[in-house]
Amino acid sequence: MSPEPELKPEQRINIAIDGYSSCGKSTLAKALAKELHYKYLDTGSMYRAVAFFALRHNLIHSEGGIDAEGLIQSLQGMQVGFVIDSETGGSQVSLAGEVVEPFIRNLTIASLASKVSQIRQVRNHMQILQKQMAKEKGVVMDGRDIGTVVMPQAELKIFMTADAQVRASRRQKELQNQGKFVDLKTVLDQQISRDYEDVNRAEDPLRKAEDARELDNTHLDAEQQLTLALDWVKQAILKG
């Protein structure tokens, strides 16, 4: 797909993408950012980085619980940010400047990320960082509370969903490509558990913003959903 002409600064918009796990939010967000020459920020990776920090600093109890007090006390010095990959031009989450992407893309960290994200002080700290990153136009940000909390004024909000079995199958293939072999039932069970936690948590639960456009990609491939999203971008720019 040939890229659209780069928009003038005054034409740039912010794009918020929310939705369930394994819906391809980051895949779409990265593709949009590349096509539009926007900045991409993966907020979910920030919570994964916090979870990895907690694991590395012995803030996880033996039964899998979080030492919330210890984690809260560590927030100010945690230094969660993004580093630009010189080869790909993409952003990678970092802790104190150390790229931690290779350590956070597994089911254990995903489960812990869901737990740490329920701690109000953690969410407050991450949201402050995210809002600072979104001050300039031309940002594509994905997560679970972007359109409702972090960027409620985003000109385009997309809420992604897909059939649960399809999402689990996609996640299993993603893990297999990383050399991690997990049976489909385990992936589906953990996904259902995470969906429940995301929707029912007390702190900023996953929900569709009233003005969000829903994208069900159960039967769409990456190129089809990108084409649809780019059409929505054009509409949002014209509307503005």
The pLDDT tens digits for 80-115 are: 999 887 777 678 899 999 999 999 988 899 889 989
Give the pLDDT confidence score for residue 2 in this predicted structure.
44
Span 2-7, mean pLDDT? Answer: 49
pLDDT digits (tens, 9 = 90+) for 39-71: 899 898 999 999 999 999 999 988 878 999 999
198 three-class SS = helix
pLDDT, residue 126, reads 94
Residue 220 pLDDT class (50, 70, 90 cuts): very high
pLDDT of residue 240: 67
Nearest to 54 by CA among 112, 120, 125: 112
Average of per-residue pLDDT across 129-140 = 91
What the chain holds in terms of domains, given with CATH numbers, is 13-239 (3.40.50.300)
Q: 3 pLDDT band (50/70/90 cuts)?
A: very low
For residue 187, what pLDDT is reported? Answer: 92
Instruction: Determine the pLDDT at residue 180.
Output: 86
* Residue closest to 182 by CA, chosen among 163, 198, 174, 112: 174
**What's the average model confidence in pLDDT over 187-200?**
90
Average pLDDT over residues 176-189: 90
Task: Identify the pLDDT of residue 5.
Answer: 47
Report the alpha-carbon angle 135-138-143, nearest 5. Answer: 75
Cα separation, 53 vs 44, in Å, equals 14
Mean pLDDT of 182-200: 91
pLDDT band, residue 1 (cuts 50/70/90)? very low
